[in-house]
Amino acid sequence: MRIVVFAKEVLDPDAVGAYAVSGGLVVDDDGNITQSTIPRLMNGYDEQAIEAALRLKDSGLECTVVVASIGSDQTAMLRHALSLGADEVVAIEPPEGPMDCHVVASILVAWVASVGGADLVLCGRQASDDDQGVVPALVSVGLGMPLVTLARSVEMPGLGQPVQVVRVTPDGDEKVEVDLPAVVTVSSELGEPRYPTMPQKMAARKVNPPVLTTQELAVGAGGLEPAVVVARQFVPTLKGDCEIIVGEGPAQLADELVARLVENKLIKAGR
């Protein structure tokens, strides 16, 4: 069976956060963050989606794991995917114009069709840059597959069997089952992705991931027209009116704080 994982390269959210906090984030007129000092890396949830695919493979399931990504200059990221254990990787050059999640989904749907379909599509729950998390849903509609979100674990008893997913819900874990083909998104609760070994890294370094263009894919009508475009991006301002409690040692600090909480009726004296 073929397991397809979609991976997105994102700006390191921690670095973006650090610049945002220090007031030094540079955003151009089109809303793009332009700092070249911010590292680019694979979206963490997508790395966990690859991990979910590899765990299925480790469980003895006969499968091919293919990682696909839309973007320019993704060799390093795709080699990382190979070193983790992906069987195949492919890069898709983005189209000329602006991309939104509709455009991304249309391209991915066309690519899946071009390779003869997929049995299981795994994606990260959201990308840590725009946090939108809608591409998996749009892909599932485009491919006519059911969607299961927020997996903590993805298991398959055997080929041809339904896939069993434990979902992270606000009320605790929910176990569901779905027939393949299906789209499943992976949440952080899946756990740490594996580290590539040195030999795996060395082997991956020799591979030049194939690159497709959107012209080579039969993208559906209107599929390259974005439904939303980014008008601008900015860093929100914070109020910042913190009173730092002063006192001699933990006991006094605690008393001072509790006095303020009582004063503001946040906690009641006597219950």
Partner 1 sequence: MTAPVVVCSWTGIREEPPEETEAALTLGRSVSAGLGVGLVWLVVGPAPQDCAEVAARHGVGEIEVISDPKLSTGLADSFVEAVCRFLGDHPAGLVLFSQTFDTRLVAPLVAGRLGASVVMNALDVAVEGDGLEVTAAAFGGDTRVVYRAATGRPCVVALLANSVVPEPASSPSSPTVSEVPVDLSEVHERVRVLDPARAEGPRLEDAEIIVAGGRGLGSPQNYKLVEQLAEALGGMAAASRPIVDDGWIDSSRQVGLTGKITRPALYLAAGISGATQHMVGCSAAKTIVAVNSDPDAPIFRHARYGIVADCNEVLPELVRAVTQVSDSHD
Q: What is the DSSP string of 139-179?
A: HHHHHT--EEEEEEEEE-SSTTSPEEEEEEETTEEEEEEEP
| Closest to partner 1 by CB, 210 or 222 | 222
Q: Binding to partner 1 by residue 253, rule CB under 8 A? A: yes
Q: Binding to partner 1 by residue 241, rule CB under 8 A? A: yes
The residue from 76, 137, 207, 212 that contacts partner 1 (CB under 8 A) is: 137
Task: Give me the residues that bind ligand FAD (CB under 6 A), please.
Answer: 13, 128
Q: What is the DSSP string of 28-82?
A: -TTS-B--TTSPEEE-HHHHHHHHHHHHHHHTT---EEEEEEESSS-HHHHHHHH
Distance between first and last Cα of the chain: 62
Q: Binding to partner 1 by residue 87, rule CB under 8 A? A: no
Closest CB 155 distance from partner 1, rounded Å: 11
| Closest to ligand FAD by CB, 100 or 130 | 130
- Pick out residues in 110-129 that bind partner 1 (CB under 8 A): 125, 128-129
Closest residue to ligand FAD in the complex (CB)? 128
Q: For residues 64 and 1, what is the distance between their CA atoms, to the nearest angstrom? A: 6
> 3-state DSSP call for residue 226?
coil
- Pick out residues in 171-230 that bind partner 1 (CB under 8 A): 171-179, 182, 187-189, 191-192, 222, 225-230
